[in-house]
Structure 1
Amino acid sequence: MKIRGKYGKTGAISFEKGKINQEYSYIKRNINLLNPGKVIEEYINALFCFLWTIICSVKDMLLMYRDDIKKVLYRNMLKMNLAEKPNNLNKINENTKTKPSLSRKNAGNNWQNAQTTVSAHAKPGKKGCITKYIAIDCEMVGIGRYGQNDMLARVSLVNQKGEVLLDKFVKPIEPVTDYRTEVSGIRPHDIQNAENFLKVQHEVLKIIEGNILVGHSIAKDLSVLRIKHPHKNIRDTAKYRPLAKLVSRGGTPSLRTLSKSILGLDIQNGEHDSTEDARATMAIYNRVSAEWEKHIKRREQRHKSNHHKHGHGHGRKT
């Protein structure tokens, strides 16, 4: 299609339709370039869209990995807290220095008459005062046909400062078939004339009543003592998940592993000492007590909130 202008007689100017459209677009772009305000506005809009896209992507990523981020942050915070607090148990055995122990294997057939280590018997002295937090640890011997069942042989209680509140050998109420000396450190003469089980049980109950009990795998200790303690007043270092994740990747950590990682102390090298173990457990709790108690309070608040909502949900209008 051709278009002739009014000056066609002299010059016959003709344009194709496509060429006119191209020239119109070119002129329009030139006009936009001549209008800097509009150009800047377009660039700002493009920049805003780009930034908004990045923000949305970051938000989606954080929501996707928020649980992992929380774990990492909490783990780093816990490590910082442990690094800031001084080691108060460098002298954990200051008052109970041990002589070289004579294990059953080294003692041979005369192991029953072997000399008892000094650490197995806490030194007599002034007892510490009862505090709100009390750590417990028990040593057990085996009963039953093959010695597979546990029986209390020694119990130790220490206060929050690590001072001994109670440390007693207990006379078993059933025949002992395995003294487990290599681990328990218990020998026949330790418990042959020891104190009555019920008497020691009563003393333990009197000390821990109304207080918070700290221990490692504390259910075993309470089981052999044949006592119960309110669940809300128990702090079990074997079941506190942040410690487990920090030390053993979520598995149940041993007291020896926790002591080495948290306190920098080597314990339970050979025969165990219930007083030493109780002190180590209390020291571990003291290191993480602030975060632990906050964790418990948050859990209680969530429980109360859920209970409150549940109660209102089933309520009826009158």
Structure 2
Amino acid sequence: MAHNAYIALDFETANNKRTSICSIGMVKIIDHQLTESFYTLINPNDFFAARNIDVHGIHPSDVANAPTFKEVFPYMLDFIEYLPIVAHNAAFDMSVLHASIKAAHMETPDLTYFCSCQLARRTVSSQRYGLKHMMDYYNLDFHGHHDALNDAKACAMITYRLLQHYPNLQNILDIYGKQLRDKDAL
């Protein structure tokens, strides 16, 4: 495993249920370089709330022929390769992942994750710490908020900037890293 490698991840959901993933975006960062990206629409086999459609712009017709989470999950794991995961609201994204794994009757792998939003709160002084606000804080271009791949890229850029305040990624994981496991409740 590379010394400084992680996966930035973002989910969009069809409604307020944690099991209603309708898109996923991930980027792989190795030694400060975005080396690969992963994006797919997912058919949640569930209803789409108008509020969620207003946020991400994904409609039921967009996912009608998309794979289900159960079909996509093995490809996600191949992409992740047991690298640590970062999400800008990890409590949300990791609970969505865990609930969706459970709903698909699959085993939850041991995954290490941390939250770039919480890391930002502990590292820099800003008025607000949401994804868009942190992109503005760092003067980074940000187009397409609530597109899972764009949000994953934004999370990766924010994480890159935050890591500059620490000796290395392992230091972050030792302090802020959490584990997603079957036996753990989120």
Compute the displacement of 1:230 (Å).
5.1
Equivalent of residue 237 in structure 1, options 99, 105, 116: 116
The letter for the 1-side match of 2:23 is R
Could you tell me how far apart the structure 2 residues matched to 1:298 and 1:132 are? Answer: 12
Q: Secondary structure at the match of 1:154?
A: strand
Question: Helix, strand or coil: the match of 1:246?
Answer: coil
Aligned to 2:62: 190
CA gap of 1:298–1:289, structure 2 versus 1, over 3 A, is closer
1:180 is paired with a residue whose SS is: helix
Please tell me the root mean square deviation across aligned C-alpha atoms, in Å: 2.9
Residue of structure 2 aligned with 1:260, choices 120, 136, 144: 136
Amino acid at match of 1:186: I
Corresponding residue SS for 1:291: coil
Tell me, yes or no, if the aligned pair for 1:255 and 1:281 is still in contact at 8 Å: yes
Equivalent residue, structure 1, for 2:178: none
Percent sequence identity over aligned pairs: 23
Alignment of 1:156-305 (within 5 A): 156-160=25-29, 161-178=33-50, 180-226=52-98, 227=101, 233-240=112-119, 241-243=121-123, 245-248=124-127, 253-268=129-144, 272-294=146-168, 297=171, 300=174
SS in 2 for 1:165: strand
Number of aligned residue pairs: 159
| The one of 5, 9, 13 aligned to 1:140 | 13
Hey, which of these two has a bigger chunk of helix by percent?
1
Q: Which has the higher contact order (CA 8 A, sep 6+)?
A: 2
Q: 2:21 aligns with which of 143, 149, 152?
A: 152
1:280, distance to aligned residue in structure 2 (A)? 1.1
Residue ranges of structure 2 left out of the alignment (5+ in a row): 102-107, 176-186
- What TM-score do you get using the length of structure 2 for normalisation? 0.71
The secondary structure found in structure 2 opposite 1:210 is coil
Report deviation, 1:182.
Answer: 1.8
TM-score (structure 1 length as normaliser): 0.44
* Letter paired with 1:168: T
* Structure (1 or 2) with the greater strand fraction: 2
Instruction: Structure 1 unaligned segments of length 5 or more: list them.
Output: 1-130, 143-147, 302-318
- Any runs of at least 4 consecutive aligned residues in structure 1 with deviations exceeding 6 A, and if so which? none
Which is further off, 260-269 or 290-299? 290-299
Q: CA deviation at 1:163?
A: 4.8
SS in structure 2 of the partner of residue 239 of structure 1: helix
What is the Cα deviation at residue 164 of structure 1?
4.3
Q: Is the CA contact (8 Å cut-off) linking 1:256 and 1:268 kept in structure 2?
A: no
Structure 2 vs 1, CA of residues 195 and 166 (structure 1 numbering), >3 Å: closer, same or farther? same
- What amino acid is aligned across from residue 149 of structure 2 in structure 1? T
